[in-house]
Each structure stands twice: as C-alpha cells, then as structure tokens.
Amino acid sequence: MRIVFFGTPEFAVPSLRSLLDRRNEIVAVVTQPDRPQGRSRTTLVPPPVKGAAIDAGLDLLQPERPVGDLFAASLRHLRADLGVVVAYGHILRPEILAVPSLGMINIHASLLPRYRGAAPIPWAILNGEAETGVSVMRMEAGLDSGPVLHRVATPIEAEDTGGSLSDRLADLGAEALVDVVGRLAKGELPGEPQDHAAATYAPKVDRETTRLSFAGPALAAARRVRAFDPTPGAWATHAGAPVKLFGGRVVAGQGEPGQVLAAGRRTLVIACGDDALEVLEVQPAGKNRITVDAWVRGRGVAVGDRFT
C-alpha cells in the first residue's frame, strides 16, 4: 500500500509512526510550511510532523496551500494508493481527494457525527461529555461528513485536560488507522454513512471562547480551564491585565463571583456563582506559566483580589 500522509501537529505524529512501524510504504509527507515564532518572529519553527518525517528519511511537501495544478501534479507523480490525513489544517478540494486511487481517509478526534469541525477535543470537555473518541472516515467535499470506517471510544476523565485527552486520542487514532489501512488493502470496509441529522459542530476556538466567567457555577469554569490547557489557555482579568489559569477543579467556597478566597502555597481559590474554582498554575500576561506559590510569593495575587 503506497500512502501519502498529510499532517501537521504533534497529534498526527503517532499515526505516521504507526504506519511506518507496520511497514507501509509512505511515498511522501505533506505538511504545512515552517512558521515564524518568538517575539521577534525571525525564528522559523518546523511543524512536528516534519521532524518525524525527516527522522524517517521521507520525502516532504510543504505547500502554503494544497491547491493548484502544480500541487495536484506533484501528488499524481507519487502514484499513491491511499491518502491519510491527520490534523493537516487545510481543507482538501475534491480534485485533490480524488488523486490517490483508493481516495483519502481522515482521523477525526470525535465520535462522528458529533463534533464535526476544527476543535472537537476542547468542545467535548467544555460541554461536559462523558466520552469521546476517534473516527476514521472516508473524505469527501463536506465538513467531516464522509462514511465512517471505524470508531473507538474513550471516557473523558474528571481530570482530563485538552492536552491529556489529545495525547490519548492520538494514540487511539494511530491504532485505529493501522487496522483500517490493513483492511482497506484487502478490499474490506465499505463505510457506514453518517446520520447528518444527528451532527453537532465544534467551531474554531477564538479568544472570547476561552474567556472565563465566574458568575456561573464553578463546574463550568473548571471545564473551561481544563478544555484549553495547555493551549491556548483559559483566561480572566486581574488588576487590569489578562491571566491564564490552569489545573482547575471545583471546591467548596462562597463569596462574590471573581473574589479570591485563598492564595496559599499551592492553590488559588476564586469564588463563583456556585461553589469555587481552585487553580494550581497561572500565566500572567507576558510571563511564563508558573505555580500559584510563585505568583503569591511575587505578590502577584492576594486574598480579597478580584478576577473579572
């Protein structure tokens, strides 16, 4: 099976490695271009998939956008049987999807048709879902709407963050992908059409989505903190500046919403409309992520302060 692999973030790396471990022939890896990072924006940082591809000695394509006659010709030249897409970050047009002889498949980090879209992992935590999973589907022109070849479910634990859940789903997706590729090579897996009437959506996360409110229950605030940990981070305003909060959980406590009830060696407790939110780490504006203890010792926060 000749495979062209599309992927960009760390989430995609276990899938690429699993395919290589099972001796599938990866004819090329398509990933996004290196991007400038840092305050000066002068340092180009490669996507994680690029590093894994270089380590494996694989050919690379890094188009700014996967469109146009030149890119399509490059794909056709590879003579791939199958395209595998894992968190690539671009929508592929029908003429690109049709290049591999067996089409393209995608790993999506939800139990489709639920949570179609760009950010299924944080939205599942944010909405208090008891479980999520991965779906391997055939790709078509619609948004995550193709027939599903395989699903694997996993519970969302009480302490799961966006980061921990992403890591677990990446590993589950890699295992599911190897199974699907093997069965496709034998001509199996026609695919199960999705129930489009049951579809829900997980839109791209913006800054307002990550903003914390303390007027509601602490459970909702804790879910928001966990959903966006480690990135982009749930935030609130303290002393006129944004602060990201991490390690959130519900504890007993009463006070005006947003009032700091405790600021001790390990914990920061903030009153909510119902119960209180405890956090263990913070990231003040322009600073690195630090423990609450370090913030308190630096006189960054004190009992009686207010978050808004």
Per-residue model confidence as pLDDT tens digits over 211-229: 999 999 999 999 999 999 9
Paired tokens of 211: 């903003």
Q: What is the CATH number of domain 2-198?
A: 3.40.50.170
Rounded Cα gap, residues 203 and 266, in angstroms: 34
Identify the CATH homologous superfamily for domain 218-297.
Formyl transferase, C-terminal domain (3.10.25.10)
* pLDDT tens readout for residues 123-138: 999 999 999 999 999 9
Q: What global pTM score does this model have? A: 0.95
pLDDT value, residue 289: 97
pLDDT value, residue 111: 98
pLDDT value, residue 79: 96
Cα–Cα distances (Å) from 256 to 216, 238, 299, in that order, read 11, 15, 22
Paired tokens of 17: 């490695």
Rounded Cα gap, residues 263 and 277, in angstroms: 12
Sign of torsion over alpha carbons 163, 164, 165, 167: positive
pLDDT-above-70 percentage for the chain: 100
Beta-bridge partners for 3: 26, 82
Provide the pLDDT confidence category of residue 292 given band limits of 50, 70 and 90: very high
The answer to whether residue 25 scores a pLDDT higher than 90 is yes
The answer to whether residue 38 scores a pLDDT higher than 80 is no
For the chain, the structural domain boundaries read 2-198, 218-297
